[in-house]
Amino acid sequence: MEYLAQIVFILIVAVATYILVRRIRMIRKGILLGKDVKINDHKKDRWRNMLLIAFGQKKMFKRPIPAVLHLFLYGGFLIINIEVLEFVVDGFTGAHRAFTPYFGHVYPWMMNIFEFLAVAVLISCVIFLVRRNLLRVKRFHAYEMTQWPKLDANLILIIEITLMLAILTMNAADQHLQIRSPEHYPASGKLFFSSLLMPLFENMSTGSLIVVERTAWWFHIVGILGFAIYITYSKHLHIFMAFPNTYYSALSPQGQMKNMDAVTNEVNMMLGIQTEAVAAPPSEEIGRFGAKDVNDLTWKNLMDAYSCTECGRCTSECPANITGKLLSPRKIMMDTRDRAEEVVKNMGSGGKGLEDGKSLLHDYITKEEINACTSCQACVEACPVNINPLEIIYELKRYVAMEESGSPASWNSMFQNIETNFAPWKFAPTDRFNWANDLKAEKAEK
């Protein structure tokens, strides 16, 4: 019986690790459905982006109040997990507060910092719950925020609150046990926040205190492992995905559209800028124009989708959405991720994968949505983790225009005018400066 707890702990960790690794592989498959693209330039700039935006939360501070709360939540999550290392060591070795002998007088300071962050996380989560469910902030209740996204956000906040309460409860019971059984519960020093809960356990027997302390310990460690698995199915995957996503995000100026090489080469040859000798080899297969499904996008587009926080800042800044159009950049990212997940699931279960009769365009995202986009870059600027919904919208628009010829009639007229007259308007290039001649004539008359 002495080693039973250690055996159970090792089994739980092993099962959780197996599930987590399997889930990570599925996410990787989903991202790699996209086309390959090389992103390995300007590494110093990319590391700076990752540190400032993902770790430093730079873009969050455009809205200071939620930014401060989120900083407590995010910072607390990262730092409190240092304490989890002690939980893991205790679980494997059967010790209790294994770090106490090695940190000496520093240990109580560390524990008080962890408890402060736990309380900060707890308060932040409560405020976020109030904002979502009582104040009902508009961007959290858009039409794409169906039952699951709303439930997911609330579940994460409730889980965080419960885990923080477990830490404080464990420490409060532990401080009583340090007085009653110092041989088994080494002194951890005075802990301010958990000591406020000590009166709740004052009249309990030693046996009951041990049950409370052990229950809270097991609840927290199992909760952390369960949380790690759960977030791979949740929007909170961004806790991890934000780092690689900001590293690989575009460094080029916003608004710079990526042209298709095949089309650029053809136009350059038509204009005599490029000779046929330097054109792409004829044997090289030209792929689909634009994107119809997730495999037509790049792996970075799909990484964007898996990194989406569903915060809705992009949609709340989108002028098309604000004026009542159907477009929601957040929905574009959610739909892209859902489609990638569906394809990977189908492939894993022996299904047809991409050949299931569905596609990202039409089945998930409609032409009405993408046609409402003005390419203003507001969504790109607003995203706190450098997601670019506009790139996906561009590719879907390209497919509609170049493969389906399905753009609105007024757009097709504009395209034709640009092709024949080199301007969106229907007049000959030779007449382009007639308006200037008229101005000169009027000036001469005066």
Rounded Cα distance between 274 and 270, Å, is 8
Scan for tokens 């900001």, then name that residue. 246
Domain range enclosing 214: 4-31+63-247
- Rounded to an integer, the average pLDDT of 313-326 is 96
Are 143 and 170 members of one domain? yes
Are 77 and 17 members of one domain? yes
Are 308 and 420 members of one domain? no
Please report, for the domain that includes residue 371, its CATH number: 1.10.1060
pLDDT surpasses 80 at 398 = yes
Rounded Cα distance between 62 and 59, Å, is 6
Question: Looking at 247, 271, 293, which one is the last position of a domain?
Answer: 247
Domain membership of residue 221 (yes or no) is yes
Scan for tokens 């996008």, then name that residue. 297
Q: Which whole-number Å values give the CA distances from 186 to 136, 174, 182, 199, 373, in the listed order?
A: 47, 9, 6, 20, 62
CB 373 within 8 A of CB 330: no
pLDDT at 277: 47
Domain membership of residue 274 (yes or no) is no
Are 340 and 353 members of one domain? yes
CB 206 within 8 A of CB 180: yes
pLDDT at 77: 78
pLDDT surpasses 80 at 163 = yes
Model pLDDT for residues 267-276, shown as the tens digit of each residue: 777 767 766 6
Are 307 and 209 members of one domain? no
pLDDT at 279: 47
pLDDT surpasses 70 at 280 = no
Are 93 and 126 members of one domain? yes
CB 380 within 8 A of CB 388: yes
Domain membership of residue 117 (yes or no) is yes
- Rounded to an integer, the average pLDDT of 387-401 is 95
Domain membership of residue 51 (yes or no) is no
Written as six digits, the tokens of 350 are 């022996």
Q: What is the DSSP letter of 257?
A: P
Rounded Cα distance between 28 and 21, Å, is 10
Domain membership of residue 120 (yes or no) is yes
Written as six digits, the tokens of 289 are 């124009």
The CA-based dihedral angle spanning residues 399, 403, 409, 412, taken in that order and rounded to the nearest 10 degrees: 90
Written as six digits, the tokens of 376 are 């203003």
Model pLDDT for residues 49-70, shown as the tens digit of each residue: 999 999 999 999 989 999 999 9
Q: What is the DSSP letter of 35?
A: B
What is the reported pTM? 0.88
Are 107 and 222 members of one domain? yes
Q: Greater confidence, 81 or 171?
A: 171
Scan for tokens 């958990």, then name that residue. 194
pLDDT at 261: 77
pLDDT surpasses 80 at 212 = yes
Written as six digits, the tokens of 33 are 């459905």
- Rounded to an integer, the average pLDDT of 240-245 is 95
Nearest to 218 by CA among 89, 83, 117, 91: 91
Rounded Cα distance between 397 and 367, Å, is 8
Q: Indicate the average pLDDT of the chain.
A: 90
Written as six digits, the tokens of 425 are 């308007």
Q: Helices H, strands E: what count in the chain?
A: 19, 0
CB 305 within 8 A of CB 337: yes
Helix (H, G, I), strand (E, B) or coil at 298: strand
pLDDT at 275: 62
pLDDT surpasses 60 at 182 = yes
Query: What is the Cα Rg of the chain in Å?
Result: 29
Scan for tokens 């390995």, then name that residue. 40
Written as six digits, the tokens of 189 are 């020093």
Domain membership of residue 151 (yes or no) is yes
Q: Greater confidence, 256 or 169?
A: 169
Q: What is the DSSP letter of 144?
A: T
- Rounded to an integer, the average pLDDT of 154-176 is 94
The number of domains in the chain is 3
CB 396 within 8 A of CB 291: yes
pLDDT surpasses 80 at 256 = no
Are 213 and 164 members of one domain? yes
Among positive and negative, which fits the CA dihedral 295, 301, 307, 310? negative
Residues near 41 by beta carbon (within 8 Å), at least 6 away in sequence: 251
Domain membership of residue 19 (yes or no) is yes
| Longest pairwise C-alpha distance within the chain | 108
Are 240 and 350 members of one domain? no
CB 301 within 8 A of CB 34: yes
Model pLDDT for residues 185-209, shown as the tens digit of each residue: 888 888 999 999 999 999 999 999 9
pLDDT at 394: 95
Are 383 and 322 members of one domain? yes
Are 242 and 365 members of one domain? no
- Residue 38 CA, chain-centre distance (Å), reads 21
- Angle of helix 389-402 relative to helix 299-307, nearest 10 degrees? 130
Residue 441's pLDDT band (boundaries 50, 70, 90)?
confident
Residue 419's pLDDT band (boundaries 50, 70, 90)?
confident
Are 377 and 446 members of one domain? no
Model pLDDT for residues 320-378, shown as the tens digit of each residue: 999 999 999 999 999 999 999 999 999 876 777 898 899 999 999 999 999 999 999 99
Model pLDDT for residues 67-126, shown as the tens digit of each residue: 999 989 888 877 887 788 898 999 999 889 889 888 888 999 999 999 999 999 999 999
Model pLDDT for residues 283-310, shown as the tens digit of each residue: 444 568 899 999 999 999 999 999 999 9
Model pLDDT for residues 16-36, shown as the tens digit of each residue: 999 999 999 999 999 999 999
Written as six digits, the tokens of 60 are 């969050």
The number of beta carbons lying within 10 Å of the beta carbon of residue 264 is 13
Helix (H, G, I), strand (E, B) or coil at 365: strand
pLDDT at 268: 78
pLDDT at 225: 93
Residue 388's pLDDT band (boundaries 50, 70, 90)?
very high
pLDDT at 287: 67
Domain membership of residue 256 (yes or no) is no
